[in-house]
Amino acid sequence: MKKQDTIILGAGMTGLATGITSNAPVFEAQNQPGGICSSYYIRPNEKERLTAAPEDDEAYRFEIGGGHWIFGGDPVLTQFINSMAPAKSYNRRSSVYFREIDTYVPYPLQNHLGYLDKNIALKAILEMTDTPGSIPTTMEEWLLQSFGKTLHELFFAPFHRLYTANLYKVIAPQDPYKSPVNIKLALQGAFDKIPPAIGYNTTFLYPANGLDALARKMAAQCNIQYDKEVIEIDAKKKNVSFKDGTNIQFDRIISTLPLNRTMEMTGSHVESKTAPYSSVLVLNIGAKRGEQCPDDHWLYNPDPKSGFHRVGFYSNVDVSFLPSSSREANDSVSIYVERAFPGGEHPAQEEVEEYAAEVVSELQGWDFITTPEVVDPTWIDVAYTWSWPGSNWVNEATQKLQEQNIFPLGRYAAWSFQGIANSIRDGFMIGGSFKNYQDS
């Protein structure tokens, strides 16, 4: 391949937005755009993944990385998304589900204590009003100080043990805006059960024809080469090697790949210890709907037997996730189930199959589903990113790469949680600033 001034690695939402505004070529490891925000389709009682809905619409829609909803976008971004793929707006419905006592508590738990035993609610309120004695250094310490011992033991510890693959005891506090503490609202929820919705995703958008529709429309405005999995980046020789045996020369790279992977592929090292992460096995399930299947969009699960931490209901967001013949009666359900693993510890195929059978059996036991029609696992290697207390690894790694004309961009490249809208925004901003390099 001829030398390029600027190249973009990864055709997720960030890479696509960067490609649109920069005109730089985009190299994607998979055979379709969107990254983990990619929809796919499977017909009932079949196994073949389809990249687009079949003409008769008789298929379940799933997503590679589980439910990805578009939240937090400003009016300009919302207008752009709708120009690419008209989207519907939804109000969040989510709960904590305690399996052992078969109780649903609306999210966030601390604002709906009236759904719990009165003694538990009273203890929780008293503990949340205590003034913390020191600045927490780990997530476990932050959870204890923020919510108190009672709620920590009831929900936050068992849930985060699953959610972080047991890292919560040693990683730094992170993303407090996801579950904010407000004593006034906690008191209101303990007695009235009607506090206002709070959090970063109280409302969200989703394209009427699936995330794949948005990704394809954005990709149509880019110069993308698919099936280009990067295996090495030689920063000195300015050369990228792909798994298919091809190479490309570059002056600069915009990398949307996970920051740790970019560091590995360049052979770069910094003083600080590499930050931790967790991987996630997403189990997508299409099934006949059980009588006890909730109406929530997703549930936080602190005590399932199978070890997952969240079960989401695509089709509770929109019935378009169901085969067309099931939509009117709403007698089926499209589900995603997430289970975290320590970073990179991929279970063997036999273990995945055993786990899938356990999940189906457990959801049947809860009467969420009856007959499964599709059970399809996907693996997200870098799913949740964390930091060690006091670590400067992200800044050091980013600076090291920038010194080599490699610029990390996006959720995993920045090693920080953000949604689809902000990923598109970042891509537009950086892509526009790099456009001059392409045009010069």
Does 116 lie in the same domain as 260?
no
Q: What is the pLDDT tens value at each position of the chain, 440 positions in all?
A: 566 799 999 999 999 999 999 999 999 999 999 999 989 999 999 999 999 999 999 999 999 999 999 987 788 999 999 999 999 999 999 999 999 999 999 999 999 999 999 999 999 999 998 867 788 999 999 999 999 999 999 999 999 999 999 999 999 998 776 677 888 889 899 887 777 788 878 899 999 999 999 999 999 999 999 999 999 999 999 999 999 999 999 999 999 999 999 999 999 999 999 999 999 999 999 999 999 999 999 999 999 999 999 999 999 999 999 999 999 999 999 999 999 999 989 999 999 999 999 999 999 999 999 999 999 999 999 999 999 999 999 999 999 999 999 999 999 999 999 899 999 999 999 998 887 665 55
Estimate to the nearest angstrom the gap between the alpha carbon of 392 and the chain centroid. 24
Judge whether 403 lies within some domain. yes
Judge whether 418 lies within some domain. yes
Residue 220 maps to which CATH number?
A: 3.50.50.60
Pairwise CA distance, residues 290 & 416, whole Å: 37
Ramachandran angles phi, psi of 249, nearest 5° = -90, 150
Q: How many domains does the chain have?
A: 2
Please answer whether residues 259 and 397 qualify as being in contact, where contact means their C-beta atoms are separated by less than 8 angstroms: yes
Instruction: Go through 62-78 and write b for each residue having 16 or more CB atoms within 10 A of its CB, e for each that does not.
Output: bbbbbbbbbbbbeeebe
Judge whether 12 lies within some domain. yes
- What is the Cα Rg of the chain in Å? 22
Please answer whether residues 252 and 406 qualify as being in contact, where contact means their C-beta atoms are separated by less than 8 angstroms: yes
Nearest by Cα to 53 from 283, 204, 216, 205: 216
315 CB-contact burial (10 Å; exposed 0-12 / middle 13-18 / buried 19+)? buried
The per-residue pLDDT for range 200-251, each reduced to its tens digit, is 788 999 999 999 999 999 999 999 999 999 999 999 999 999 999 999 999 9
Ramachandran angles phi, psi of 433, nearest 5° = -70, -25
- Residue keyed to tokens 């190479």: 247
**Model-level pTM?**
0.94
* End position of a domain, from candidates 158, 191, 224: 191
Q: Range of 215's domain?
A: 4-34+208-274+390-439
Pairwise CA distance, residues 296 & 87, whole Å: 20
Judge whether 92 lies within some domain. no
